[in-house]
Amino acid sequence: MPWKTLDDMELADKVVLVRVDINVPVENGVVTDTTRINRIVPTIKDILEKGGKPVLLAHFGRPGGTPNPDMSLKVVLPALRAALGVPVHFAENCVGGPAKIAVSKLESGEVLLLENTRFHAGETKNEPMFAASIAALGEVYCNDAFSAAHRAHASTEGIARLLPSCAGRAMQAELSALEAALSDPKRPLMAVVGGAKVSSKLDLLGNLVSRVDHLVIGGGMANTFLAAQGINVGTSLAEHEMADTARDILAKAAHAGCNILLPLDIVVAAEFKANAEHKTLPVAECPEDMMILDAGPETVEKISTVMAGCRTLIWNGPLGAFELTPFDAATVAAAQKAAELTQAGTLISVAGGGDTVAALNQAGVADQFTYISTAGGAFLEWMEGKTLPGVAALMT
Ligand code: 3PG
Ligand code: MG
């Protein structure tokens, strides 16, 4: 790997500034999903074991550069303490007096969490002065926040240029899984891309058609492609103004030898609603007054057959309106097939981005994939072939 890891760093008695992503969902003051917190545990334990003192830098929400008690990181303390099983202290500010005092009081075996870095405008602006003031708190920088690495912020990018820096364990795991899936994959390689809009995933589709052998397009964006090919999609969610773009992507795929899989059959209903009255039809037969809410069983069969011949799968986005039963059927069935092939040892499966993890959890297979990324925007930008500033800064 072109970047250093914790194994390369001398940490004994050193204050290690660790950028983590604990931007977790909270309801009524309680963390409702601890996945991101659990992922950073190995890094913090390794630092403690090597005699280092972990000081955590993190953002929470988007407070826009001013302190906001509703976006205080205090709310994650109970979950963080439970996951780590060691004392976790808190400083009310990530720079200045409170931070310096808390760092100086930190004993070996303990962890310190600093308040939301985004309470300072210098964070998102990546101001050198602000980066220098957080860097001054420690001696080593460790970035374990892949899911924030698409942001060139002071705590993800600027600081890495000021201190000896390395990737944490979660960052390492994330980068190796992503490299195995897209940079240096075992072929054939299939990508599944779903979700509502082609317009938000143009760069993604454009990059994938030149890299993958099979591209499954699902969800609302499949409708845009169907419509662009002259197929009536009724009242379906579709971006008709994107027809030329969709046709360009199909042409690019044909040129690159990428096999595009669009729905062969569809599940349609008159309303966008759970348990709406529905029927399954061939793709060309969507009634004028109905909308496509899922791919049908013939499509799932086709995806499964092609997937069975693949060695690597990268998945982003659901195939239908998975949040409404029973329109999650295609997503669930395809995800179960991927899990089965992964467990049988013939497929490397990597998934991530936005709704994807929720969809795979719903299918009950999230723990049967090779790797599930907790990243939203960063996973997408990485799949688009973009350089992530937080990762790039670790290489300098
Ligand atoms: C996320 O939740 O996607 C990351 O923590 C990044 O947050 P952001 O989109 O507010 O930068
Ligand atoms: Mg985001």
CA of 279 to the centre of ligand 2 (A): 36
CA torsion sign, 313 to 317 to 320 to 323?
positive
Q: Which spans in 282-346 are helix H?
A: 297-308, 329-343
Helix (H, G, I), strand (E, B), or coil: what is residue 308? helix
Nearest to 330 by CA among 365, 299, 362: 299
CA dist list (Å): 261 to 186, 216, 219, 254:
20, 5, 12, 12
Helix (H, G, I), strand (E, B), or coil: what is residue 164? coil
Ligand 1 atom nearest to CA at 145? 5
124 lines ligand 1 (CB under 6 A): no
Among protein residues, the one with the nearest Cα to ligand 1's atom 7 is: 148
With tokens 């996951």, the residue in question is 83
CA dist list (Å): 266 to 80, 197, 278, 303, 379:
44, 18, 10, 14, 29
**pLDDT tens-digit readout, 57-70:** 999 999 999 999 99
Full DSSP string of 215-277:
EEE-HHHHHHHHHHTT---TT----GGGHHHHHHHHHHHHHHTPEEE--SEEEEESSSSTT--
Q: What is the pLDDT of residue 348?
A: 96
Q: What is the pLDDT of residue 198?
A: 82
Residues with active-site annotation: 36, 197, 354, 377
Phi-psi map region of 20: left, alpha, beta (phi>0 left; psi -120 to 50 alpha): beta
CA of 23 to the centre of ligand 1 (A): 7
> Which ligand neighbours the alpha carbon of 62 most closely?
1
376 lines ligand 1 (CB under 6 A): yes
> Which ligand neighbours the alpha carbon of 375 most closely?
1
389 lines ligand 1 (CB under 6 A): no
**pLDDT tens-digit readout, 358-393:** 889 889 998 999 999 989 999 989 998 899 999 999
**pLDDT tens-digit readout, 229-285:** 999 999 999 999 999 999 999 999 999 999 999 999 999 999 999 999 999 999 999
With tokens 């909308």, the residue in question is 291
> Which ligand neighbours the alpha carbon of 58 most closely?
1
CA of 9 to the centre of ligand 1 (A): 28
381 lines ligand 1 (CB under 6 A): no
Ligand 1 atom nearest to CA at 376? 3
62 lines ligand 1 (CB under 6 A): yes
Burial category of 280 from C-beta neighbours within 10 Å (exposed 0-12, middle 13-18, buried 19 and up)? middle
User: Above pLDDT 90, what percent of the chain?
Assistant: 90
User: In Å, how far from its chain's centre is CA 170?
Assistant: 13
214 lines ligand 1 (CB under 6 A): no
Ligand 1 atom nearest to CA at 375? 3
**pLDDT tens-digit readout, 71-93:** 999 999 999 999 999 999 999 99
